[in-house]
Amino acid sequence: MSGKPKLTYFNGRGRMESTRWLLAAAGVEFEEEFLETKEQYQKLIKDGALLFDQVPLVEIDGMKMVQTRAILSYIAAKYNLYGKDLKERALIDMYVEGTGDLMGMIITFAFTPPKERNLALIIERATTRYFPVYEKVLKQHGQEFLVGNRFSWADVQLLEAILMVEEKEPTVLSKFPVLQAFKARISNIPTIKKFLQPGSQRKPPPDDQYVATVMEVFKKD
């Protein structure tokens, strides 16, 4: 075994992309196995690899971890991206839940029938509920990072969320100057800069092929 974490998921963003971001930000190399067939998924279940018969699956430190939130907190704690005490950790949790909720709206977008998609709601939530919070936090304490004057999981996930919303609406940060500066700063951290370059394990926005593969793998017989 190589000792690198192994990620099992589709060759797309979905519920695994934040884990790819966090590992990359921590400078940790990882391997990936892409789910392409129903047989592959059924074999994982048969082998007892999936606690709740669901992916993402991350094999790390001898564990077969499922549940995105558990995976992310483990990685954040292990690589010192989870604050210096319980209160910083609580803040990080609140911030990542916020960005997680916003990204959840975008993750499900590609799987929603076109007539039921509501892009305007996503932009509205981003600009009136979520981004103002992060803009204010950064402005008030005047520090480079969201929590504890130190790079954390909250920063990684906020940048991921900003870029996802910008893909849908490029001008979305126009009224958020502090977030514009934050985006430039965090994008320039060497591990993140590398992840943002072509050829990294970052996945592109969902396309029809990816959506079709997910539907096929989970199709009930």
Q: Which of positions 37-56 make contact with ligand IBG (CB under 6 A)?
A: 53-56
Asked if 218 touches ligand IBG (CB under 6 A), the answer is yes
Nearer to ligand IBG, 68 or 73 (CB): 68
Asked if 15 touches ligand IBG (CB under 6 A), the answer is yes
Asked if 96 touches ligand IBG (CB under 6 A), the answer is no
Asked if 108 touches ligand IBG (CB under 6 A), the answer is yes
Nearer to ligand IBG, 37 or 149 (CB): 37
Asked if 200 touches ligand IBG (CB under 6 A), the answer is no
- 100 three-class SS: helix
Asked if 191 touches ligand IBG (CB under 6 A), the answer is no
Cα(66)–Cα(178) distance, integer angstroms: 35
Structure tokens at 68: 């995105």
Cα(155)–Cα(81) distance, integer angstroms: 9
Cα(99)–Cα(94) distance, integer angstroms: 9
Residues 6+ apart with CB under 8 A from 68: 15, 16, 18, 19, 56
Asked if 106 touches ligand IBG (CB under 6 A), the answer is no
Asked if 213 touches ligand IBG (CB under 6 A), the answer is no
Structure tokens at 10: 């589709």
Beta-bridged to residue 58, according to DSSP, are 7, 65
Asked if 67 touches ligand IBG (CB under 6 A), the answer is yes
Q: Which residues bind ligand IBG (CB under 6 A)?
A: 14-15, 53-56, 67-69, 107-108, 111, 214, 218
